[in-house]
């Protein structure tokens, strides 16, 4: 796949994504009307540009941080905690999306797609997104207890997953959010920390003919 390999078979630890295309001519109201959950995809791979657009739409930077303020993203978060990290899972391994640099950082080279959901189709999904809440990022008077943190993390994940839905609808891609996950096993496979909690996963691919 072009978005993973550079120079033959050698895989880079960091993949710089192309600039996202922000001029898609698809009406927002039409995307809302046409939004659907799709569980069948073609074998056509997701291109580097599509992956760039997808991740930026999910939670990309819309305003850079300053000395006095955090950056802004395409999706809101409680107290602007920006606690949801988006991991990209594909055949070549697991990558963490770095919003500030708009690039992918390799976590490992293990294909764990079959573990991002309980359905048999998981083994062949082109791209899987794993939404992970880093609870250590959640600060502020409204986020003092674990119950509040978890509630807000689920809500914030909903914003991001809906962004993915709308981008996929506008770009003729299919997507589905998954809640039935073996979180404990996936947590170990991704080597996450104790304060990092898996919320949901989402799969993306080209529409089947």
Domains within the chain, CATH numbers bracketed: 14-18+27-61+71-206 (3.40.109.10)
Alpha carbon distance 202, 15 (integer Å): 21
Mean pLDDT check: name the lowest of 53-57, 125-129, 158-162.
Answer: 125-129
Give me the helices (H) in the chain, please. Answer: 28-34, 48-59, 146-170, 183-189
User: For position 11, what pLDDT does the model report?
Assistant: 54
Judge contact between 198 and 187, C-beta under 8 A. Answer: yes
In a 3-state reduction of DSSP, which class is residue 144? coil
Whether the pLDDT of residue 2 is over 60: the answer is no
Mean pLDDT of the chain: 91
Asked if pLDDT for residue 4 goes beyond 70, the answer is no
């Amino acid at each position: 796949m072009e978005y993973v390999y550079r120079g033959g078979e050698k895989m880079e630890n960091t993949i710089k994504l192309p600039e996202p295309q922000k001029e898609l001519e698809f009406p927002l109201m039409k995307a809302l009307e046409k939004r659907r959950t799709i569980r069948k995809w073609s074998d056509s791979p997701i291109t580097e540009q599509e992956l760039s657009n997808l991740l930026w739409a999910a939670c990309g930077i819309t305003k850079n941080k300053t000395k006095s303020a955090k950056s802004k993203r395409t999706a809101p978060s409680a107290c602007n905690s920006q606690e949801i990290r988006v991991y990209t899972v594909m055949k070549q391994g697991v990558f963490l999306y770095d919003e500030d640099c708009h690039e992918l950082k390799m976590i490992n080279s293990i294909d764990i797609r079959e573990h991002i959901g309980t359905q048999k189709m998981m083994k062949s999904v082109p791209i899987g997104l794993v939404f992970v809440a880093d609870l250590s990022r959640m600060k502020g008077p409204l986020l003092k207890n674990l119950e509040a943190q978890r509630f807000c993390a689920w809500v914030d994940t909903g914003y991001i997953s809906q962004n993915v839905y709308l981008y996929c609808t506008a770009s003729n891609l299919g997507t589905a959010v998954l809640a039935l996950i073996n979180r404990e096993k996936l947590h170990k496979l991704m080597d996450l920390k104790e304060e990092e909690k898996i919320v949901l996963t989402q799969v993306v691919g080209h529409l089947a003919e």
